[in-house]
Amino acid sequence: MTDRIRIALAQLNPTMGDLTGNLAKARAARAAAADADLILFPELYITGYPPEDLILKRAFVDDALAAVQALAADTVSGPSVLIGTPWREDGKLYNAVAHLDGGKIVGRTLKADLPNYGVFDEKRIFSAGRSAGPFDVRGVKIGVPICEDIWTDDTIVGAIVAAGAEILLVPNASPYEADKENVRLNLVKARVAAAGKPMAYLNTVGGQDEVVFDGASIVVNADGSLARLMPPWAENVVTTEWTRTATGWVCTPGEIASPEERSQSVYHAMMLGLRDYVNKNRFPGVVLGLSGGIDSALSAAVAVDALGADRVRCVMLPSRYTSDDSLVDAEECAKLLGVKYETIAIEEAVKAFGTTLASTFAGRAADTTEENIQSRIRGLILMAISNKFGPMVLTTGNKSEMSVGYATLYGDMCGGYNVLKDIYKMEVFRLSHWRNANMPAGAKGPNGRVIPERIIVKPPTAELRANQTDQDSLPPYEILDGILLCLVEQELSFEEVVAKGYDPATVKRVEHLLYLSEYKRRQAPPGVKIGPRNFGRDRRYPITNAFRDAR
């Protein structure tokens, strides 16, 4: 019976569907942990997570299993492997972990508790399995519940421990949400306390479309002490040392990463989400309209920090309503960020559209139609630059605007990705202040102030008509955001929102705009999920909907 075991935790960033690349990365991680007895990879590592309906393609699963077999062939010597993979058995498809050792696949365990809420649709694509008894790795009994298997209750972990598990290793693909770190840690500690066994909670890292995984993997000893907290947002392979004691296995304490406050973690999530979306989809960079407003300034700052200034192109698209302040502020922001910056005036195009539509619009007063034409001209120009030179258009609207439809289809909504999609306006202000005062870890942008102070403090405006401000059409953002948090994140009733002190007429209007704008959100680009109810994967409302809670 061995009294020591070395377990490597591979907190890696797989690319969805890149089976060859993911296999190569797994081999490199295994080589880096050559002195370990065992290396653990995240949930569904070989394919990426979440695979959605791609997993229903038989050829994809066949190739994934072939990649796992190829990795198994490497295990004639060196560390044993536990790797997340799809698994086909008895005509059914499972979310599984395969145990590779001695040059072959020697065992597998099947995920029993399939999540089917929020961003998760596992019951759509997988069959519920049954957790296998612990794996024997160098004489140590290793139990492997898979992600959700530890989230619901103690049942699955209890059964694995009852079957003889001495150490619990949990591969995860646990998406980032702001303020979720303590939820995970408390969950792991609760399962450890109930099981009386130590647990390593390994999480994947990286961006997959809207979902971002922050890593931040955890090791907790049986006495509840935190032995490891791996840094978030970065790939890392860490070999942990375990010793058998009279009361069970103990992990030797190692690095405990410092906790992040909300703005810091949210900003890092936006950086990683954008970086992986651009890089994994092989765009050379991004282009965006830099208006002199706070949303585009923060979007540009995130883009530069994620990709580097040389991969970010900013375009000022002024009309006759664009103020001198906006022109000055946009140029200063571009200089602070060090990006390529140009000005393309849209007034001649606006006049051309006016002439073209003059007879059609005869007898009709100017209204939001003409305002939207300006926005669509800007979108057309940005898309033309994208088509000609290759960068993806970065959309810059925030969640407050998207909630109530304060955005133009095929105008400021056009583009490939939006880092502010799940960020309410008041948080846009907080993040802008935070970035001016802090240098994010791993950022490629400049240190110090990157957003001019006047952009942060001046009243927000779309500048589509003379003397326009957002508050002409919307409640003050501190009120609007408070109501939206109640309606969107918490799904509160009209009466419950009013009971919090909000004006009934304002709540009724915001609710109406929220429902009315669903058709716009269905056509919006994806963006980084930050909160518990992002528009898209989390919150799926019908477009055709006559219900109004406020009567």
Q: Do 40 and 68 form a contact (C-beta atoms < 8 A)?
A: no
**pLDDT surpassing 80 at residue 467:** no
Query: What percent of the chain clears pLDDT 90, i.e. is strictly above it?
Result: 93
**pLDDT surpassing 80 at residue 95:** yes
Annotated ligand binding at 295? The verdict is yes
Give the pLDDT confidence score for residue 388 in this predicted structure: 98
pLDDT band of residue 460 (cuts 50, 70, 90) is confident
With b meaning 16 or more CB within 10 Å and e meaning fewer, what string describes 195-225?
bebbbbbbbbbbbbbbbbbbbbbbbbbbeee
Annotated ligand binding at 403? The verdict is no
Mind listing the pLDDT tens digit for each residue in 267-324?
Answer: 999 999 999 999 999 999 999 999 999 999 999 999 999 999 999 999 999 999 999 9
pLDDT band of residue 489 (cuts 50, 70, 90) is very high
Mark residue 463 as left, alpha or beta (left: phi above 0; alpha: psi -120 to 50; beta: remaining).
left
Terminal-to-terminal C-alpha distance of the chain? 71
pLDDT band of residue 471 (cuts 50, 70, 90) is confident
Q: Do 477 and 426 form a contact (C-beta atoms < 8 A)?
A: yes
Annotated ligand binding at 180? The verdict is yes
Annotated ligand binding at 290? The verdict is yes
- Residues annotated catalytic, as ranges: 43, 111, 147
User: Torsions phi, psi of 173, nearest 5?
Assistant: -130, 80
Beta bridge partners of 427: none
Radius of gyration (C-alpha) of the chain in whole angstroms: 26
Annotated ligand binding at 400? The verdict is no
527: helix, coil or strand?
A: strand
HSE toward the beta carbon, residue 253, CA cutoff 13 A: 7
Q: Which residue segments constitute the domains of the chain, with CATH numbers given?
A: 4-259 (3.60.110.10), 263-470 (3.40.50.620)
Distance CA 211, CA 196 (A): 33
Length of the chain: 551
Q: Which of 75-84, 204-213, 222-231, 532-541 is least confident?
A: 532-541
